[in-house]
């Protein structure tokens, strides 16, 4: 899978804590909801959210947990999924699975990272999400 390539304007400001060794480290807003290895003890667990270094008020980033939730929200998911398909030229295969024009599977995590690595698509997704959540 493609590594996450965040925009320059996005900085890791979300504090997470390892449930195993209590080490704290910073992640990007977009990575909230992903399980990831602890940099200290390397156990792969869902880290625990501790807050933000700069308080609220971030840019147009969308957490992975919100992305996942919007893909699965009845009534609004169809509209949200169409946007993802349009932004990345993908087709939704149900659940968290998309395929590209060659028929290769693209996981939701990768789709999310791709959208979040481009300013225009990140903004489009943020606006759509805010319209749905509101
Ligand atoms: Zn740890």
Task: Tell me how far CA of residue 118 lies from CA of 3, 31, 58, 61, 115, in angstroms.
Answer: 14, 16, 16, 11, 6
Q: How many angstroms separate the alpha carbon of residue 17 from the centre of ligand 1?
A: 8
pLDDT for the residue numbered 76: 84
pLDDT mean across residues, the chain: 91
Domain membership of residue 78 (yes or no) is yes
pLDDT for the residue numbered 132: 86
- Burial of 49 by CB count in 10 Å (0-12 exposed, 13-18 middle, 19+ buried)? middle
Question: Based on the structure, what is the number of domains in the chain?
Answer: 1
Give the separation between CA 10 and CA 6, rounded to whole angstroms: 6
Domain membership of residue 105 (yes or no) is yes
Q: How many angstroms separate the alpha carbon of residue 52 from the centre of ligand 1?
A: 19
pLDDT tens, 74-87?
888 999 999 999 99
Q: How many angstroms separate the alpha carbon of residue 39 from the centre of ligand 1?
A: 7
pLDDT for the residue numbered 87: 97
Domain membership of residue 85 (yes or no) is yes
pLDDT for the residue numbered 117: 95
Domain membership of residue 86 (yes or no) is yes
Instruction: Report, as an integer, the average pLDDT of 88-97.
Output: 94
The answer to which of 32-36, 108-112, 121-125, 130-134 has the lowest mean pLDDT is 130-134
pLDDT for the residue numbered 90: 97
Q: How many angstroms separate the alpha carbon of residue 47 from the centre of ligand 1?
A: 9
Domain membership of residue 69 (yes or no) is yes
Q: How many angstroms separate the alpha carbon of residue 73 from the centre of ligand 1?
A: 33
Q: How many angstroms separate the alpha carbon of residue 45 from the centre of ligand 1?
A: 8
Q: Which residues constitute the domain of residue 81?
A: 64-133
Q: How many angstroms separate the alpha carbon of residue 71 from the centre of ligand 1?
A: 30
pLDDT for the residue numbered 62: 95
- Percent with pLDDT over 90 in the chain: 76
Tokens of 87: 């932004």
pLDDT tens, 4-32?
899 998 999 999 999 999 999 999 999 99
Within the chain, strands assigned E span 14-17, 24-27, 36-37, 44-45, 48-52, 91-92, 97-99, 105-107
Give the separation between CA 46 and CA 20, rounded to whole angstroms: 10
Domain membership of residue 36 (yes or no) is no
Domain membership of residue 53 (yes or no) is no
Domain membership of residue 7 (yes or no) is no
């Amino acid at each position: 899978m493609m590594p996450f390539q965040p925009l320059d304007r996005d900085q890791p400001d979300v504090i997470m804590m390892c449930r195993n060794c209590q080490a704290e480290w910073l992640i990007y807003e977009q990575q909230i909801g992903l399980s990831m290895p602890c940099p200290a003890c390397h156990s792969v667990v869902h880290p625990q959210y501790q807050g933000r270094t700069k308080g609220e008020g971030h840019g147009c980033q969308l957490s992975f947990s919100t992305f996942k939730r919007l893909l699965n929200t009845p009534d609004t998911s169809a509209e949200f999924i169409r946007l993802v398909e349009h932004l990345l030229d993908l087709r939704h295969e149900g659940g968290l699975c998309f395929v590209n024009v060659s028929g290769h599977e693209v996981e939701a995590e990768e789709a999310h990272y791709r959208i979040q690595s481009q300013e225009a698509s990140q903004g489009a997704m943020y606006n759509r999400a805010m319209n749905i959540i509101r």
